Amino acid sequence: MKFYVIYLCLVVALVRPTLCKDEKDYVSKDSSALPKADLHGTTLHYHYESEAKLFGPAEETFHISADVDVEYIGDGFVNYLDNNASSFLMFMRNVFVQVIKGNGTTSESEAPLSADDLYDQPTWFVQLGNGTIAEARFTKKDLGNTDVMNFKRSILSALQTNLVRDKENVIETDVMGTHNSRYSLTELQFGEIEVKKHVSSKDIYVDNNTDLDTDEVDIETDEVQRVSGGILTSVSGHVQVFQKPVEQDDTTANPEEGGNIDLGVYLTSNVTFTLTLRKHVKRSVEGVQRIEAVANAQFQKRSLVGQYDQVSGVYQRWTILRKKFDKEDKLSQAVTNFMKDPTDPSKCM
């Protein structure tokens, strides 16, 4: 059985289990790239907020907020030097997660939980002069936690942009995989640029050895970014996952697909997020210290594409489903039976 795994933990990221293939290099019209910002010795203080609404019978909203500090640490290295690349270290602080149950009229919020201990590691990334994020590197602690890496990947995806004028279709890689992104750039006043980005499930390259399954759901994502003096000053966007209309006849429901348990309903979600530059400042003494403190840390390169452990992903999905059905004995029984023997149709109600 194939699933889209939705990360309830810290981000709702749609992912594929395989690492991305080598990206094909193609020549871009970088002559029209916007001028590069001078970021030497500076820190970009961003604030991230997101709200992940999960639809279906048990409505839940996850509210996540975090401070994201991006430290410029130099030009890109070897492979990227001629691309006007920059290297950064990303640090996260004040990471809070709050769960709100209910549908707005009857909502109960739990107290926000701090996740700072999970996010105490820096992440190294390289951004090319054209806005593409070319590489991400994680420390050993993060390599042991896929959810943490995926959340960081989703923030890096938000930082990825297109600073090349007149180039509307870009193949890029982010947390969703390798896909086409449709961009449009509008010059605003005072050198500010508005960058719009759109991706839908149709734009995602599905290679034939992955489990990307768009049978049940469609994805639409939109982002509006503001760039000023070559620096990304804000991003706001949403990722909508919605159910495809069901064509097949209910009476022929395939027990291998979970009988009459409609998974699509549980996969429907809407994530909205903003990443806003609050301050762009000369690096503080603390900033210098925290960079020095990680000088000897070992970073390892990993794909920007979200990953998941297939076995535990399926397991998590079922655990969540079971919990939701717990209120309804009959359904709970069906799910339990299904899990015992997914091939026996008589056990699926």
Ligand X SMILES: *[C@@H]1O[C@H](CO)[C@@H](O)[C@H](O)[C@H]1NC(C)=O
Which of 48, 338 has the CB closer to ligand X?
Answer: 48
Tokens 């297939």 belong to: 310
Smallest CA-to-CA distance from 126 within 69, 92, 85 is with 85
Binding mask 267-286 for ligand X (x = CB under 6 A): ---x-x--------------
**Both structure tokens of 333:** 């029984």
Q: In a 10 Å sphere around its CB, with 0-12 CB exposed, 13-18 middle and 19+ buried, how is residue 261 labelled?
A: middle
Rounded least distance, CB 84 to ligand X, Å: 4
- Ranges within 237-256 binding ligand X (CB under 6 A): 238, 240
Tokens 């003096």 belong to: 229
Smallest CA-to-CA distance from 235 within 37, 36, 47 is with 47
> 309 with 84: CB under 8 angstroms?
no
Rounded least distance, CB 105 to ligand X, Å: 5
CA distance 235 to 174: 15
**Does residue number 61 form part of the binding site for ligand X (CB under 6 A)?**
no
**Both structure tokens of 98:** 């709050």
**Does residue number 33 form part of the binding site for ligand X (CB under 6 A)?**
yes
Rounded least distance, CB 60 to ligand X, Å: 12
Stretch that binds ligand X, among 67-75, 125-133, 253-261, 320-328 (CB under 6 A): 125-133
| Choice from 208, 248, 343, 346 touching ligand X (CB under 6 A) | 208
**Does residue number 128 form part of the binding site for ligand X (CB under 6 A)?**
yes
Stretch that binds ligand X, among 70-78, 164-172, 188-196, 292-300 (CB under 6 A): 164-172
- Ranges within 309-348 binding ligand X (CB under 6 A): none
> 162 with 199: CB under 8 angstroms?
no
| Choice from 76, 122, 129, 258 touching ligand X (CB under 6 A) | 129
Rounded least distance, CB 208 to ligand X, Å: 4
> 176 with 201: CB under 8 angstroms?
no
CA distance 156 to 147: 14
Stretch that binds ligand X, among 77-85, 195-203, 290-298, 327-335 (CB under 6 A): 77-85
